[in-house]
Amino acid sequence: MSSTVAVFISTTPPTSTAWKASSAVILGDAGATIYVGEQEADNLRKIQKAGRQLDAMGVVAVSLQGAEWNLERQWAFAKGYSDTLSTNRIQWASDAEQLTSLQSTAAWVRRLINLPPNEIYPESLAQQIAAQVQQVGGAAVTVTTLVGDELLAQGWNGIHTVGRASKRPPVMAVIDYNPSQQVDAPIDAVLVGKGITFDSGGYSIKSSEGMVTMKCDMGGAATLAGALVHAIEQGLQKRVQLVICSAENLIDGNAYKLGDIITYKNGTTVEIVNTDAEGRLVLADGLLYAGETKAPLVIDAATLTGAAQVAVGTDYNALFSVDDALAEQTLQTAAQQHELLWRLPLNTWHQENCPSAVADTANSRPQKGGGSGGASNAAGFLLRFAPNQGQGWLHFDIAGAYHNSGTSMWATGATALGFRTIAATLLK
């Protein structure tokens, strides 16, 4: 008996009445068959569901058979046929080198996000990401890391404030991919990743139910790292820097409190009205750093707000930008990469939606979740720190980065959704 299950695609409707017409995959003597129609977007979703169904059946190895398996169909199947521990095996029908690269990067991103918080913390996150980028970038990659009170000496007060209560110190790491290896080479893009390796909510403490998955709050940093790795493997020849803004948001006598005021490097003062709105506080430092580089493209990614997930669900990521041309191009890129991305509102006046009587702005609104329009208000807060008044800046609120439980499309845990779109944006 074969150690793999053959999987076929057919455009001919099934004749057997033993299976429901809605079944994503039908088993027979020759293996498994996925019946597809005329709408390719629907086909890709059905193929991904078929992958999940075969995983749920306990199938541990498959062989994709036939000319109907193009690259995107195979990748859709692979996304569904990925258990949480990434142990399933696939024999590709074609495009093996490209698909193996995609699968390897996605599995690494997912594995990193799924790591338990006793294994992943600010310094180890920075080290693991740096090691992965160096593995593909070689001598073109250099790493600069600031740890604990070193952040204060450089003026990175947001990251330090959020992370100072933990015994594991906060970190800002700059991973510089410079293929020319010329010291004065211009920086083409800066990626700024939220790397909160565990988020208790601080004194605005989360419920136990809301805290149990907060190991995933470094998903932005992991997703951007995956994007950079994939872009390098695809031949990226631009200088790109990845900034990891990492901390554990915990509670002790030294933790930051409601009513505290942070003064940022650019002089902006921020009143803390919610210690669970910590991601934007660390990203602000990263965006200020990006501005210092004069890079024309700045992309940040973060599991930033529950409001974004309420708006777009967990199948999409949310995009914010005041640069309409860049936003439209990014949406087109996402469509080309078959990753679901939806633009949510952001105007310059969103900067004023978290007012403070004692500082330039508050970090949120006092109510749970930041109140109405919370995702846009969070993006508006970041806009205060984005270079060039937001031109050339994209903010990804990655609502689809993690699933608390398995769905018909995804296994429990991290998805790596978004890394292809960001990689393709870097390569353009």
Give catalytic residue positions.
206, 280
Angle among Cα 218, 223, 226 to the nearest 5 degrees reads: 130
Q: How far apart are CA 18 and CA 8, in angstroms?
A: 18
Q: Which amino acid is at 351?
A: Q
Q: How far apart are CA 408 and CA 55, in angstroms?
A: 11
Contact 251, 243 (CB under 8 A): no
Sole residue written with tokens 């915990």: 250
Q: Which amino acid is at 50?
A: A
Q: How far apart are CA 224 and CA 119, in angstroms?
A: 20
Q: Is 176 left (phi over 0), alpha (psi -120 to 50) or beta?
A: beta
